[in-house]
Structure 1
């Protein structure tokens, strides 16, 4: 039997898009955060594993609500679209298998915090996200329009009540924060309107601030590391390019260095020495990046910052171009120094909380 909701309140299916946005973000960040954790850092492993457990509770309960309340109703009311609903069920099984795998791998990582356990969990998180995003994209594109035609708002909203009943009360604010973090003001207002008044008050007075603080602590290191890594990559590529330029066309390249005079003729071979130096410096940075040695790269970048700083001082001492000294070499020294500080900061041990 086909039933549509043309005479009843249509469901607010966009709420699912808001929920999915949080799932996409957290599944991506969890993989990055786990992969960026230093071997042996058990405290960090416990923190991330706890957040992973919260995320999986939310995702698991969200899917159980659909399995119990949405798919059976739709299958009883659709004909040609039944294949879409059945595909959703099959995708849920794949996601459930990936969730079971993550829970299986999280325990050993928390106990040992070693690199092999970390890498296994990071790989499983990447596989989980691939399966999850495939499902979320399909659901938004093909299932939500069917739900709008065949379900009432009350039937759709029953998922929220199911979620609240089956989720530990201590996790509700955390998971609400995950959902609302990237919501627009209009989406946030619509979502909160469906909550009881006391829950809205608690969220506005305590929950939003608590979530923001928790996420800053949870994500600060990986964001710091990513900025430092990006600066290091740009620096390595740039310095290697300058080195090649000094090897291929030394005299023309040297004119932009900032000194008032340069050797010419056979004496210009000295410029090739600078080219080799710069090329080797850039390749050293890129080699450490390729091996994922972020902490070692941080210390190397701090050491390498002395090179452009020394170039700047040399130009100023010999009456060269002050604009080039500060604008090129000084700026390069600052970028290299910032990259090193960010990478070292991201890798340093975190103080224990009492």
Structure 2
């Protein structure tokens, strides 16, 4: 029976596949994020070490529940398949050894953020990921079908109560987010259905947003993203204000643009067109920020940097104010370009 076929046939053990998916992802991402941390960045090191501690606590307690509640029951009921359960126990020991090494390395690195400690921790995480994935693949392909045949649903689900009992309440929300992040809508609904009603309501009202924000902080270069976002916010508000000014007072606003003269009479309608352009530009930036589309915002900011750059060149070509050309339009182009580059850099590190 193939792995896909076996997973399709599962009933009460299906949620384990969702849990495993989160473990695979976090063990891989933690190695990447820690390996990319700049030496000396103790704040970033502490943040990642705290998330690593949450992950290791969840993994340890998950395995402890299986060790205490699942393996003994199965060994008492299986015969020829006992080797599968014994192999699970041996794999748990290998994973536990990597967990112990990770805890030994994480504390000192969180305090110093030195390159040697970072590299050792990242290398151990890579090893941990390989050992863990080998175990999870084996468990899904061989142990879960065995459990379906020899355990009741209540016996299997007892490990969930064990996990909640032995996991600090402050970590439960973070670990639930790790599990549900890559779940399909049906998997998420099925998983949440097993929780008490107050817990489901709390997750929907607060937990999901909290987890998304926490993961953005973890997976982005936060300081780079904040600088880029701040520049984008100033751009959106500033250019939107300029657009409104051209719509409400076109003649008065045009004198500060930097050209030798401004259109008058019927030609002044061009100033309203500029107002609409600037207002739409500002609203586009603010809309993307509100939606959290940082990568799209970065690309848009790169494109929008051509607008103030073009304004600067237009003023210089028509012998306008050089101070305004460089000090206003040139500086704006540089800020918008920097915002785009910083946002895209942060998105690539996510």
For Structure 1 versus Structure 2, the TM-score category normalised by the shorter chain is 0.5 to 0.7
Alignment of 1:50-129 (within 5 A): 50-129=50-129
What is the number of equivalent residue pairs in this alignment?
230
Counterpart in the other structure of 1:44: 44
Counterpart in the other structure of 1:144: 144
CA distance in 2 between counterparts of 1:177 and 1:51 reads 12
What is the Cα deviation at residue 342 of structure 1? 5.9
Counterpart in the other structure of 1:18: 18
Question: Cα RMSD between the aligned structures?
Answer: 2.6
What is the Cα deviation at residue 12 of structure 1? 1.1
CA distance in 2 between counterparts of 1:37 and 1:188 reads 32
What is the Cα deviation at residue 221 of structure 1? 2.7
Counterpart in the other structure of 1:205: 205
Aligned residues of 1:11 and 1:154 also touching (Cα < 8 A) = no
CA distance in 2 between counterparts of 1:62 and 1:345 reads 33
Structure 1 segments, 4+ long, off by >3 Å, are 336-348
CA distance in 2 between counterparts of 1:201 and 1:337 reads 41
Aligned residues of 1:11 and 1:156 also touching (Cα < 8 A) = no
CA distance in 2 between counterparts of 1:112 and 1:45 reads 8
CA distance in 2 between counterparts of 1:347 and 1:106 reads 25
Counterpart in the other structure of 1:191: 191
Q: CA 1:108 to 1:74, structure 2 compared with 1: closer, same or farther past 3 Å?
A: same
Counterpart in the other structure of 2:133: 133
Counterpart in the other structure of 2:35: 35
SS of 1:76's partner is helix
Counterpart in the other structure of 2:217: 217
CA distance in 1 between counterparts of 2:195 and 2:155 reads 16
Aligned residues of 2:41 and 2:113 also touching (Cα < 8 A) = yes
Please list the CA deviations of residues 199-255 of structure 1 after superposition, one character each: whole Å capped at 9, or x if unmatched.
111111111110011001110239x99xxxxxxxxxxxxxxxxxxxxxxxxxxxxxx
What is the Cα deviation at residue 28 of structure 1? 0.5
Aligned residues of 2:220 and 2:346 also touching (Cα < 8 A) = no
Please list the CA deviations of residues 330-349 of structure 1 after superposition, one character each: whole Å capped at 9, or x if unmatched.
xxxxxx9999656866899x
SS of 2:77's partner is coil
What TM-score do you get using the length of structure 1 for normalisation? 0.61
CA distance in 1 between counterparts of 2:142 and 2:159 reads 19
The gaps in structure 2 that reach 5 residues or longer are 1-9, 226-336
CA distance in 2 between counterparts of 1:146 and 1:27 reads 26
Q: CA 1:137 to 1:338, structure 2 compared with 1: closer, same or farther past 3 Å?
A: farther
SS of 1:13's partner is coil
SS of 1:80's partner is coil
Q: CA 1:188 to 1:114, structure 2 compared with 1: closer, same or farther past 3 Å?
A: same
CA distance in 1 between counterparts of 2:24 and 2:69 reads 23
Aligned residues of 2:39 and 2:114 also touching (Cα < 8 A) = yes
CA distance in 2 between counterparts of 1:154 and 1:44 reads 42
Please list the CA deviations of residues 67-118 of structure 1 after superposition, one character each: whole Å capped at 9, or x if unmatched.
0000000000001100000000000000000000000000110111010000
Please list the CA deviations of residues 112-171 of structure 1 after superposition, one character each: whole Å capped at 9, or x if unmatched.
101000000000000000000000000000101100100100001001000000001111
CA distance in 1 between counterparts of 2:178 and 2:203 reads 12
CA distance in 2 between counterparts of 1:33 and 1:152 reads 40
SS of 2:38's partner is coil
CA distance in 2 between counterparts of 1:11 and 1:57 reads 27
Q: CA 1:198 to 1:40, structure 2 compared with 1: closer, same or farther past 3 Å?
A: same
